Structure 1
Amino acid sequence: MASFPIDVLVEIFLLLSVKPLVRFRCVCKSWNSLLTSPFFIKAYLERSIKLHKFNLLKYNFNKISRVQIHYSPKNELSNLDTSFIKDGEKFELVGSCNGIACLSSFNSKIPHRSKIFLWNPSTGENITLPQPSHHVSNLVGFGFNPLSGHPDDFSIVNMNIYLEQHPNYTSQVEVYSFRRNCWKQLGNIFAPSLTQRLGNQVIFKNFICWCPCVYLDDKFVALLILFDVVQDDFQKIALPDIMPLGIKVINLLEGCLSVIAHNSSTENYEVWIMKEFGVCKSWIKLYTIGVSMRELFSYQPVGFANSGEVFFIDTAYMGLRVKSPSRLVLYNIQSEKFEAFHVKVDYETTQLVTCLESLISLSSTNNVKH
């Protein structure tokens, strides 16, 4: 194997999943050097977008948080080990980028015990971030700087809102840099009047994006809230008036920002996409999903499994009362059919993010000042 052409070897390795590649590091020094090189790690990430994508599904049931992995088109769910989060703590799946997932455990009763974790689900490697100056809040964002040239240039945003001095609420925002291994204070830059629940997030270029419905000037307003990890500031983008005001799930679809919006007048869900980033007039409605209420079942979206399938939570009702625990189902947009998984979930805590297989390391040797 020593005489095997390096370019051929690289092409073979790029087709494999992470687990055998981790084992192959032990074969010889030259293989270890190749598989841990910045060149190969970047190349593997680029190939993973086509070959090694999967979904992470997080949910709570019986007061326990779980994460399962879902591959399309197999539509199988399997458990992942999150035992590095001690004592059975409940946690949130903040987001994922370049194969690294961010998790946070928020303890409202004992705030100083709240923690933020970075985790590579493909290798199992994980770290606990240093505590910020202000305790870890329930408003955490996870992003990435694509302009730096480093695939591990991650940023974690921690937003604390202080409501004691009505009406002059204040915020304290801190940003953690993975490569510098430190927190930076940004101060009172997040308007507390915007929201205290951001909902799910997606990463688009150098922006962390949320789509909450907030109460401003005595009315509900739907907007995008963005955090720019390059400029370290927040931005707001208004949504078109014709878009429904109901609860929204933000996604990436066809390389653009999109939302699944509930239309309370029709009880259907509408899929909208912003064709030109930052331009309100570029929002268009792609199609309507008529699954809000079928027979005695209520359906609530979690997110896209892929461009043609959407995860929903279905809940059975008898009259006005819940008949049974909620279940996870996968809806095929083309066939308009459901595929049920034997997974009982709590809708309020169910989260979905798309992830890539990645060789990025979270060890201290990869996390140095520059």
Structure 2
Amino acid sequence: MRGKIRKTEAPFQTYFPHLSTEDSGEQSSHHSAAVVASNDDLLIEILIRLRVKPILRCKSVSKHWRWLLSNRCFTQRYDKFLKSPGLFVGEYMYEAFSFRNGYRSPVRNYNFCSDPRGIKIIQSCNGLLFCSSDGLYRGTRKYYVFNPTTKQFAIIPLVPGGLAVRQTIRFMGLAFHPTDCVHYKVVCVRALEPDGGLFQIQIYSSETRKWKISIESFSVDHKPTFKNGVYWNGAIHWAPSYRNLHMYFKLDVEQLQPLPLPEEMKSSPMLIMYFGESRGHLHLILNNHHEKHSMLDLNLNVYEMLSDHSGWFVKYHVELYKLPRAFPEIVGPLDYDLEVIDVVRGQEEGEDTFMVLITPSEMIKYNIRNSRYKVIGPLDKSDFEGYSGYHRYIEALGYF
């Protein structure tokens, strides 16, 4: 994009008043600010380093700034700077990854539209939260998409077919990315047989605002659970299972594809400690749940999926041997009471990648590169069910 010189200086002065002055002795500084304000390339280099909330305020400076900050070229570049400030924990807590950056919970509570049954988070997807009313039965739940940064939300229309159809829903998941899936989609998997293995996929698009049947029917052996759906690389992925479900649904062609298993998982049943995405990478952590209490339980491999879905490789080897001495409460009679709830890739080259772990009473940030750790905050783990009760918060520009 080429810079274009404009005569007007008002927008830049409006948002950065300290850069303009009536003092004639500072005309040079005044002129420099005007040059930056009138050059789109320079302006982008400055604005792209701001956090989301200042950018949202910048959009009100002028029509040109709104166009510039809404342009896909800007949002694609800004995606590389996305930050992961922390985690939503259950329905009531927020824990920041860093204390130095001054991150606070972006919302006071998640009942943003006053649903009488309350709202719970189902999934976090690149800055948007997929939520549902806290109803006991699937057929009566309402579903929402919520951006905690902009405070915008949308109500997802009910799946067509009435209560009888909605009671057959086995999975609801969100697909969104500011570059490859700008118009978010909701993927619904419903059972066509009460106790059988025949299923159907329907898709809701925020662009058309309509549901459509994507796959009329498909069969899966051993009654799959469709747990832990993760959007990555243009597809919804389900946590692989040793015995049955290991597949992903590719959205552009609307096809189910087989998801390869790590070699370690092909030979024996493995416990999935973590399955999730971070900055364009899909990660999987396994543990052999048949082994008795041994130090091997603290020797973990973090697998990463190849971008063409052809297989997994070990990206990180993590040794957690220091933790039992620092946190003796994790030592149990048969194994270690320790869970992995997030893997966060470094934002830029050279920035450290870390894991978020939970003990029975605390949440820990563990640096994969140097094995250093620190306590993020106190936590009663008994209140939450596995890593499905923890949802990463990413500041997002997305509007809908």
Q: How many Å separate the matches in 2 of 1:274 and 1:68?
A: 29
Mind listing any 5+ residue stretches in structure 2 that lack a counterpart?
1-8, 11-33, 331-336, 347-352
- Residue 246 of structure 1 aligns with which residue? 271
Q: Does 1:335 align with 2:354?
A: no
- Quick check: which one's strand share is greater? 1
Mind listing any 5+ residue stretches in structure 1 that lack a counterpart?
217-222, 316-325, 363-370
Displacement of 1:88 in angstroms is 5.5
The secondary structure found in structure 2 opposite 1:193 is: coil
Assess, with a 3 A threshold, how the Cα gap between structure 1 residues 46 and 344 changes in structure 2: closer, same or farther: farther
Q: Does 1:79 align with 2:111?
A: no
Output the amino acid matched with 1:193.
H
Displacement of 1:300 in angstroms is 0.7
Displacement of 1:204 in angstroms is 2.2
- Residue 255 of structure 2 aligns with which residue? 233
Counterpart of 1:296 (choices 324, 329, 339) is: 329
- Give me the identity figure in percent: 20
Q: How many Å separate the matches in 2 of 1:202 and 1:159?
A: 14
Counterpart of 1:210 (choices 235, 238, 244) is: 238
Q: How many Å separate the matches in 2 of 1:6 and 1:273?
A: 41
Is 2:133–2:142's contact at 8 Å kept on the other side of the alignment? yes
TM-score norm. by structure 1 comes to 0.75
- Residue 92 of structure 2 aligns with which residue? 66
Output the amino acid matched with 1:79.
S
Counterpart of 1:5 (choices 38, 46, 51) is: 38
The secondary structure found in structure 2 opposite 1:152 is: strand
Is 1:56–1:67's contact at 8 Å kept on the other side of the alignment? no
Is 1:263–1:270's contact at 8 Å kept on the other side of the alignment? no
Q: How many Å separate the matches in 2 of 1:141 and 1:191?
A: 19
TM-score norm. by structure 2 comes to 0.70
Assess, with a 3 A threshold, how the Cα gap between structure 1 residues 351 and 157 changes in structure 2: closer, same or farther: same
- Residue 43 of structure 1 aligns with which residue? 74
The secondary structure found in structure 1 opposite 2:231 is: strand
1:278-303 CA-to-partner distances (Å, cap 9, x unmatched) read 223x5336314436983331111101
Assess, with a 3 A threshold, how the Cα gap between structure 1 residues 76 and 209 changes in structure 2: closer, same or farther: farther
| Number of positions where the alignment pairs a residue of Structure 1 with one of Structure 2 | 329
The secondary structure found in structure 1 opposite 2:75 is: helix
Q: Does 1:22 align with 2:56?
A: yes
Is 1:95–1:141's contact at 8 Å kept on the other side of the alignment? no
1:257-290 CA-to-partner distances (Å, cap 9, x unmatched) read 321112333323331223463223x533631443
- Residue 261 of structure 1 aligns with which residue? 286
Q: How many Å separate the matches in 2 of 1:195 and 1:292?
A: 37
Q: How many Å separate the matches in 2 of 1:178 and 1:242?
A: 39
Assess, with a 3 A threshold, how the Cα gap between structure 1 residues 194 and 278 changes in structure 2: closer, same or farther: farther
- Residue 175 of structure 2 aligns with which residue? 143
The secondary structure found in structure 2 opposite 1:44 is: helix
Deviates more, 1:225-234 or 1:340-349: 340-349
The secondary structure found in structure 2 opposite 1:43 is: helix
Displacement of 1:336 in angstroms is 4.4
Output the amino acid matched with 1:127.
A
Is 1:251–1:304's contact at 8 Å kept on the other side of the alignment? yes
Assess, with a 3 A threshold, how the Cα gap between structure 1 residues 131 and 29 changes in structure 2: closer, same or farther: same
Assess, with a 3 A threshold, how the Cα gap between structure 1 residues 203 and 42 changes in structure 2: closer, same or farther: farther
Displacement of 1:354 in angstroms is 5.9
Displacement of 1:312 in angstroms is 1.4
Displacement of 1:123 in angstroms is 1.1
RMSD after superposition = 3.3
1:82-101 CA-to-partner distances (Å, cap 9, x unmatched) read 2215236242332313x333
Assess, with a 3 A threshold, how the Cα gap between structure 1 residues 233 and 353 changes in structure 2: closer, same or farther: farther
Assess, with a 3 A threshold, how the Cα gap between structure 1 residues 75 and 172 changes in structure 2: closer, same or farther: farther
With CA pairs under 8 Å and 6+ residues apart, which has the higher RCO, 1 or 2? 1
- Residue 347 of structure 1 aligns with which residue? 384
- Quick check: which one's helix share is greater? 2
Is 1:245–1:262's contact at 8 Å kept on the other side of the alignment? yes
Q: How many Å separate the matches in 1 of 2:277 and 2:174?
A: 15
Counterpart of 1:92 (choices 121, 125, 143) is: 121
Displacement of 1:314 in angstroms is 1.0
1:9-53 CA-to-partner distances (Å, cap 9, x unmatched) read 333322222222333333344434444x4x2x5413422422x31
Displacement of 1:183 in angstroms is 0.6
Is 1:204–1:257's contact at 8 Å kept on the other side of the alignment? yes
Is 1:267–1:292's contact at 8 Å kept on the other side of the alignment? no
Q: How many Å separate the matches in 2 of 1:215 and 1:106?
A: 31
- Residue 321 of structure 1 aligns with which residue? none
Assess, with a 3 A threshold, how the Cα gap between structure 1 residues 212 and 255 changes in structure 2: closer, same or farther: same
